[in-house]
Amino acid sequence: MAIKQGWDGAILAGGDTIGNMNTFTINWAGDALENTAFGVKDRTYQPGLRTATVDFAGNYESSDTAAYAIVENFKSGATNTAITLICLMNRTTGLKEGWTGGGPITALTVGGAVDGLVPFSASVQISGGLSTYAT
């Protein structure tokens, strides 16, 4: 397997590329359920439920319809703040591959500085797990 280069990535929300994004992180976690029996001196565990979150960030531009929709829907409390994401490692060369999943937006940050770009970041709690995405 070839090492992936970040420059060819993308984040899509509802099928539209979120412009000006420059990082995403997928965080997977799983519960460890203790199942130690009497008479055993070392704890034992079995796998439990899994969870995933996706964090993404970049620079905000209000003319980017995907980013603008995320901000406006989250601010208004609209029921469609649950979004479907596609996190691509490759988007322009060869096979498009990554992960896809959806869930509610749990955090949203838009900032500003007099001497810089407007930062934008969001976190999504994935509902039902992430699936491999390839075209």
State mean pLDDT over 112-133: 87
Give per-residue pLDDT as tens, 69-82: 888 888 887 655 55
State mean pLDDT over 79-105: 72
List helix spans (H) across 58-114: 65-76
- pLDDT category of residue 121 using cuts at 50, 70 and 90: very high
What average pLDDT does the chain have? 84
pLDDT of residue 85: 75
The CATH architecture one would assign to domain 6-32+45-134 is Beta Barrel (2.40)
DSSP class per residue in 8-60: G-EEEETTEE-TTEEEEEEEEEEEEEE-PPTT-SS--EEEEEEEEEEEEEEE-
pLDDT of residue 52: 93
